[in-house]
Amino acid sequence: MTTANDIRGVVFKNGPAVLMARIVGPEGDAIAPSDVALLHYSVLEVDHCDHDTLVPVEGHDNVELDPDEMFRDELETGAPWTMDEMGYNFRHDLAIDEHDAFPTAGVDYQVRYEVVPVVGQRMVFRFLVTCI
């Protein structure tokens, strides 16, 4: 069984975010674009008093993404990736052209991704970012 952990980070109020990760399937192999049938993301404001209460941010709720643009065929290393030498296969330059994704400083936001693979069960991965 895989371990579920939020990927932590910090963002500026009303700023953009570049979210990167190494996403693997149940067998431990890195997910490639061809493995993904559908990909959606949501930005949700976390209620500090009740972590089950998540408020969707306007313009960033259940947005479909192109897996070919988000996932890499091979793991990539080098700037801006600094986590390890293995690399990343997922990168989302979260756009704020039309709607701010992080409108309130001093709160946490969950950026949640849902992956529907070509074969197998749906996967979820999340970033938990603090807005300053």
Q: What is the largest CA-CA distance in the chain?
A: 41
The percent of residues above 70 in pLDDT, for the chain, comes to: 98
pLDDT value of position 2: 58
Q: Looking up tokens 């109020």, which residue turns up? A: 13
User: What is the amino acid identity at position 5?
Assistant: N
How confident is the model over 46-102, as pLDDT tens digits? 988 887 889 999 999 999 999 999 999 999 998 889 889 999 999 999 989 899 999
More confident residue, 109 or 27: 109
The residue behind tokens 């089950």 is 52
pTM of the model: 0.92
- Mean pLDDT of all residues belonging to the chain: 93
Pairing, β 123-131 against β 71-76 = unpaired
Q: What is the rounded (10 degree) CA torsion for 9, 105, 108, 33?
A: -50
